[in-house]
Structure 1
Amino acid sequence: MDSITQAVLGASIQGAMLGRWQGRKALLCGAMLGTLPDLDVVIDYGDAVAQMTYHRGFSHSLFVLSGAALLLTWLVRRWRPNPGYTGARMLLTIWLILVTHTLLDSFTSYGTQLLWPLTSPPIAWASIFIIDPLYTLPLLGAVLVGAVIGLGNKGLRWQYGALGLSSLYLAFTLAGQQMAEHRVQQALTRDGIQAEAMFSTPTPFNSLLWRVIVLDGERYHEVLVSWLDPQPPALQSLPRGLHWRESLRDSPQHARLEWFSRGILRYDRIGDQLVVTDLRMGMAGYHPFRFPMAEWRDDQWQPIAWVERRPMQRSDTARLLTLWQRIWNPQENVPVMAWAEELRR
């Protein structure tokens, strides 16, 4: 999730757990601690694929963060002891702030390596968009109220209420995901398609309209599903370019990206470059993670040693408006096929 969300989540947790003794300082300390795992962004891992796939790695590991919580608790109790609460309460507070950060990241589509250093693929439950005002605003409101009126009984109730409300909202997003996948499965059964894999995630800034990717051999199907749709959706079939994958068999970056994304990739030849797109994030025609991984030289594809990310297209408010209208109107035409054609250039 975005840094503001992580900060207000951490602030609200520490406010609820230690605000009675620390006062408003709990909000500031919790906000700082809530963003700690994301400091790995300052590390230079290498090329663009490495930067993408090593982010949310060791610094988001449940094992590492549990150890960090123990260390931080020991340091705080040694240098800034407070007789008002126990070391166990301090440990639980720090551990909850760090672990909820990485768990919340796992609810997005990016991928979080919760079990690092184990080599299992990153976890991406993908039930919430990386920026979702309905999740963030209750927490932000509670933190602002706590900062104004303090963390007495009334201020604490705001923290408890916001944390409960945000947790219920996460449960609602999981229900929406199940709804979307169930309706898409109905459409697949109707059309006699056996899916190789399915990936579902909400469209930008909401949890009402869902985008479902279905892998089907050389093609994939991109489907939009709203809570208000009266019947299973129509499938829109797009070329996946899977036949290009063999050209990247000697590319370590491609192997890493395929592991990271669980193979939910698209391949396009653009000029003399072979471009690989992570389909999980963004929208048809607007995907933030696209990488030229091979060049056509001397009558053959040669892997690019240092991979850079292709420049991302600017956000298009007209498309966001189209998606917003699609939430409420199943008949709204969303030109997914036309948008996806932009991936060829």
Structure 2
Amino acid sequence: MDSVTQACLGATLGGAVLGRQLGRRALVAGAVLATIPDLDSFLDFGDAVADYTYHRSFSHSLLVLTGVATLLAILLSRWRHTRAIGFKRWWWFCALILLTHPLLDAFTTYGTQLLWPISSPPVAWKTIFIIDPLYTLPMLIALIAGLIRGQPRRISMIGLGLSSLYLAFTIGAKAEVMARLTPELAARGLEDQAVMVQPAPLTSLLWRVTVIDDERQLEGMISLFDDADELQLDSFSRSTELAPATLKFAAGRRLAWFAGPFRRFDIIDNRLVVTDMRMGLPGNYSFAFAIARRDTPDAAWQAIPARSSDGRHGSLNTLQALGRRIVDPTAFCPADLARQAAIHAQLLASECRHGRATDEL
């Protein structure tokens, strides 16, 4: 989740655990402690792919953070200014704040390496977008109220409770979408393909569906308010003939481990580019990496220091269209983004736009 949300979570947890003893200081200390795991964002791991895939690794490990929480609790329980509170309560304070940080991150799409250094794939439950105001707002209000009143324990618990109820709602919302989606995929013979369901930006009322069907990437949107059971999927090319070449390089193998099958491949300016399709929407991907280059089409690929390619970010118009799509199935389709020249040739067909040519979208 974003840093503001993590700070609010840490602050309200701090207020709930030690608000009676520390007052406002519990909120401030909790907010500061909750930001520590994300300091890995400032570390240089060597290249763009390493920076991308080692984020949320050791600093988000439940094993590492349990040890850090224990060490902090020992130090705080022995320091003359804080030892009156005692080890047990300090341990709960530190452990709850530090451990909930990666656990909350695991509900997003990015991927969190909860068991580092065990090399299992990153955990991503994909029930909440990385920024969701409805989750953050109750804790933010509780934090402000606690700072004003100076007695944050009760208000912190209320804020935590409301945010936790919303998080539970996102789990139920995804389950509802999956219940609608499963028979539709089975009817198409896609039940054995890799499927990703994740919330659209800033909301849990609209969900993005991605299916990897060999060389095709199928994209659709499902709103909790949709009446029709029919799933409409737009089809994009993934240029999978380039996939074997990417696996010859360490950066390509690292991205395959991190993003799984949800990668697309392109040649841009004689560079071999791998895109993480989980982040963003077709034509608005946030993370793309050039990992090799060649001077001519017949030359062999040569490794280059991995660097970020031309990743795009959603525009205000796209966000507005997604907002309208919650209640209006015609407001937005993944194929609409084929208007952008960068992905014009990638669109194979559109069920959402009834197969119209891309220049009509």
User: What RMSD in Å do the two structures reach over aligned CA positions?
Assistant: 1.8
Inter-partner Cα distance in structure 2 for 1:306 and 1:253: 9
Structure 1 residue 341: Cα displacement: 5.9
Q: Which residue of 2 is the match for residue 204 of structure 1?
A: 201
Give deviations 1:163-198, integer Å, cap 9, x for gaps: 111111111111121222232222212223244211
Native 8 Å contact 1:284 1:340 kept in 2: no
Shift of 1:274: 2.1
Amino acid at match of 1:313: R
Q: Give the direction of change, closer, same or farther, for the CA distance of 1:330–1:60 in structure 2 (3 Å limit).
A: same
Write the distance in 2 (CA, Å) between the matches of 1:240 and 1:170. Answer: 33
Q: Say which SS state the counterpart of residue 119 (structure 1) adopts.
A: coil
Cα offsets for 1:237-284 (capped at 9, x unmatched): 111211111122321000001101122101122342222110111112
Amino acid at match of 2:266: D
Cα deviation for residue 215 of structure 1 reads: 1.0
Range moving further from structure 2, 81-90 or 133-142: 81-90
Taking a change above 3 Å as real, the CA distance of residues 262 and 28 of structure 1, as seen in their structure-2 partners, is same
Distance 2:216 2:177 in 1: 20
Q: Name the structure 2 match of 1:233.
A: 231
Given residue 169 of structure 1, which amino acid in structure 2 is its aligned partner? Y
- 1:1-345 residue pairs with structure 2 within 5 A? 1-80=1-80, 82=82, 85-151=85-151, 155-230=152-227, 231-298=229-296, 299-336=298-335, 338-339=337-338, 342-344=341-343
Deviation at 1:71, TM superposition (A): 0.5
Letter in 2 for 1:222: E
State the SS of the aligned residue for 2:170.
helix
Task: Tell me the distance in 1 between the aligned counterparts of 2:116 and 2:148.
Answer: 40
Contact 1:275 1:291 in 2 (8 A): yes
Could you say if the C-alpha distance between residues 323 and 213 of structure 1 is closer, same or farther in structure 2, counting changes exceeding 3 Å? Answer: same
Alpha carbons 2:194, 2:261 under 8 Å: kept: no
| Residue correspondences, number | 342
The separation in 2 between residues aligned to 1:337 and 1:270, in whole angstroms, is 22
Using the alignment, how far apart are the partners of 1:94 and 1:159 within structure 2? 16
Match of 1:305, SS? strand
Q: Measured at CA, do residues 87 and 295 of structure 1 come closer, stay the same or move farther in structure 2, by a change above 3 Å?
A: same
Per-residue displacement from partner, 1:19-54 (whole Å, max 9, x unpaired)?
101111111100000101111112110110000001
Shift of 1:133: 0.4
Question: One-letter code of the match for 1:328?
Answer: V
Task: Using structure 2 for the length normalisation, give the TM-score.
Answer: 0.90
C-alpha contact 1:228 1:330 (8 A) present in aligned 2: no
> Which whole-Å CA distance do the structure 2 matches of 1:122 and 1:186 have between them?
28
Question: Structure 1: which amino acid aligns with 2:312?
Answer: Q
Check 1:249–1:229 CA distance in 2 against 1; reply closer, same or farther (3 A cut).
same
Shift of 1:305: 2.4
Deviation at 1:344, TM superposition (A): 4.1
1:295 to 1:106, Cα distance in 2 relative to 1, 3 A:
same
Point out the more displaced range, 65-74 or 86-95.
Answer: 86-95
CA distance in 2, matches of 1:79, 1:304: 52
Residue 308 of structure 1 aligns to a residue whose secondary structure is: strand
- 1-side partners of 2:314 and 2:208: how far apart? 17
Deviation at 1:334, TM superposition (A): 2.3
Listed as ranges, the gaps of 5+ residues in structure 1 are none
CA distance in 2 between partners of 1:128 and 1:205 (Å): 8
- Mark the CA change 1:173 to 1:303 in structure 2 (over 3 Å): closer, same or farther: farther
Counterparts in 2 of 1:126 and 1:301: CA distance versus 1, 3 Å: farther
Q: Which amino acid aligns with 2:278?
A: R
Note if contact 1:181-1:212 (Cα within 8 Å) is conserved in structure 2.
no
Match of 2:352 in 1: none
Give TM-score, length-normalised by structure 1.
0.94
Unaligned runs of 5+ in 2: 345-361
- Percent identical among aligned pairs is 44
* Contact 2:282 2:334 survives alignment (8 Å): no
| Gap change, CA 1:266 and 1:195, over 3 Å in 2 | farther
Letter in 1 for 2:18: L
Contact 1:236/1:337 (8 A) holds in 2: no
For 1:252, the aligned partner's letter is A
Measure the CA separation in 1 of the matches of 2:300 and 2:321: 39
Alpha-carbon distance, 1:292 to partner: 1.6
Instruction: Tell me the equivalent position of 2:356.
Output: none
Amino acid at match of 2:193: E
What is the alpha-carbon distance in structure 2 between the residues aligned to residue 160 and residue 342 of structure 1?
50
